[in-house]
Amino acid sequence: MAALDEGPLRLPPGARQVLLAPGTLARALAAADDDPERRWMLRLPREVRRSFVAEVIDAGGGRRDQERWLLSQSDEICRSFADDVLGARPETDPAEAWMLRQPAEVRASFVREVLGD
C-alpha cells in the first residue's frame, strides 16, 4: 500500500501469464522467488490473482487502485499481506498493517472516505 499513486502498474514480460497460471505452477514459482510481495501474490488462489489482474493491471490502475483492491479482499487475505509482506519489511508504517487487520466494514469505509471509490 502506498501513499502516492505513481501511474499505472506495469508487469515485466511473462508476469501476467504467471499471475493467471494454475495454482500449482504459481506456488512453485513463489517458492523460488525472494520478493515477499510477489511470493505472497503467487500463493493466493487463482481467482484472487485473476481479480487483481482484471481490476488493477488490465484496468490501467496504479498504486491507489492496488491499495483499494487489497483492502476489499477477505479478512484472511488482508491479514496474510500484513503478516507475510509488511512483516518482512523493516520500514513498514505500522498504520498500514493496522488498517489491514481491521474488519471489512472499516476497510470499506477507509476506501470510500479516504481513497475514494
As a whole-number percent, the residues of the chain with pLDDT over 70 amount to 94
| Amino acid symbol at 83 | D
Is 4 part of any domain? no
pLDDT of 62-96, one tens digit each?
A: 999 999 999 999 999 999 999 999 988 888 888 99
Is 34 part of any domain? yes
Burial class of residue 37, CB neighbours in 10 A (0-12, 13-18, 19+)? middle
Is 39 part of any domain? yes
pLDDT at 4 over 60: no
Is 102 part of any domain? yes
Is 2 part of any domain? no
pLDDT at 2 over 70: no
**What pTM does this model have?**
0.87
Is 53 part of any domain? yes
Is 8 part of any domain? no
Determine the pLDDT at residue 52. Answer: 97
Domain count, the chain: 1
Looking from the CA of 98 toward its CB, the CA atoms found within 13 Å total 4
The residues near 109 (Cβ < 8 Å, ≥ 6 apart) are none
Is 30 part of any domain? yes
Residue 77 is part of which domain span? 15-115
Determine the pLDDT at residue 111. Answer: 94
Question: What is the C-alpha radius of gyration for the chain, rounded to an integer number of angstroms?
Answer: 14
